[in-house]
Structure 1
Amino acid sequence: MDYQVVTLKEKIVVGVSAVTSNSDPKMTETIENLWSKLYQEGVHESIKNKLNDYAIGLYSEYEGENYCVTAGNEVSKAENEELSVKVIPPGKYAKFSVHGHMQTAVVEAWNVIWQMDLDRSFTGDFEEYLNDDFENADIDIYVALRS
């Protein structure tokens, strides 16, 4: 799978979060519930200072098998005290661009990425959903690299 190395500035993400792990049998349900809260419970509309309408799925705070998952949006300033605020640190990222069914394309891409020999920093990996076409989604996946 092809990728390009990009340098990103810090990003602030506001949304809803939960802790899970890849070995948790409820991982998929946990992540789906976050997206449901974001879009079906009005969280997306309530987020202040959105820089755009691109949804972000952030994986951060890696501790052993556990990590924090956040579904939200990039903002210029965090002003929603009731929501999670996460920072995507500046640095180098491997950027993978995928297209297809929103869930299937992402799962397939991560399955390939996990097998790659990337010099990962585990400081914050994320997906940026560039449109809301569930069947024909354009998604960029960013994997944090060591500098």
Structure 2
Amino acid sequence: MKYEVINLDEQMVVGLSARTKNSAPDMVTVIGSLWNHFYQDGIYDSIHDKINNKGLGVYSDYESDANGEYDITVACAVSKSDKLPPNTVKKTIPAGKYAKFILQGNLHQIIAAFWQELWIMNLDRTYICDFEEYQEVSDVENATIHVYIGIR
């Protein structure tokens, strides 16, 4: 898989969070229900001071590596977090070096295939924070997703 190495500034996000692991039988359900709740129940609309309209899937607080537990936060980037909507959390995407991947195609197929391929890739990951930034998802068949993987 092709990627570009970039340096990112720290970014604050607000959204909904849960803890899971890749081998958990309900992992897909946990993540999917966060996305559904975020958009269908008005959480996205209730978040103030958004810096853009992109949805983020943030993976943080790793227990160890791809085999351990982690937090998944479905969120959007904000300029400040003075008032958090009920049941939301604030997280920080740390500044640092990231491998940036650009995915295009069917939303569900490209993201699942990406993670399967990443887990076997020889990439010197930090396991501090990784995130998906959904550029355009109104057309599920032609989605564009930027994925940022923290690297050393």
TM-score (normalizing by structure 1)? 0.96
Q: Give me the CA root mean square deviation.
A: 0.9
Displacement of 1:118: 0.9
Residue 58 (structure 1) aligns with: 58
Residue 130 (structure 1) aligns with: 135
Residue 99 (structure 1) aligns with: 104
1:68-112 CA-partner distances (Å, limit 9, x unpaired): 000010000113153111100000000000001111111111111
- How many aligned residue pairs are there? 146
- Aligned to 2:113, which of 108, 111, 118? 108
Structure 1 gaps of 5+ residues are none
Correspondences of 1:43-54 after superposition (within 5 Å):
43-54=43-54
Q: Structure 1 stretches (4+) deviating beyond 2 angstroms?
A: none
| Identity between Structure 1 and Structure 2 (%) | 43
TM-score (normalizing by structure 2)? 0.93
Structure 2 gaps of 5+ residues are none
Q: How far apart, in 1, do the equivalents of 2:3 and 2:143 lie?
A: 18
- Aligned to 1:141, which of 143, 147, 152? 147
Q: How far apart, in 2, do the equivalents of 1:5 and 1:124 lie?
A: 15
Q: What residue identity is the alignment partner of 1:74?
A: A
Residue 3 (structure 1) aligns with: 3
Q: How far apart, in 1, do the equivalents of 2:97 and 2:39 lie?
A: 30
Displacement of 1:44: 0.6
Residue 22 (structure 2) aligns with: 22
Other structure's SS at 1:130 match: strand
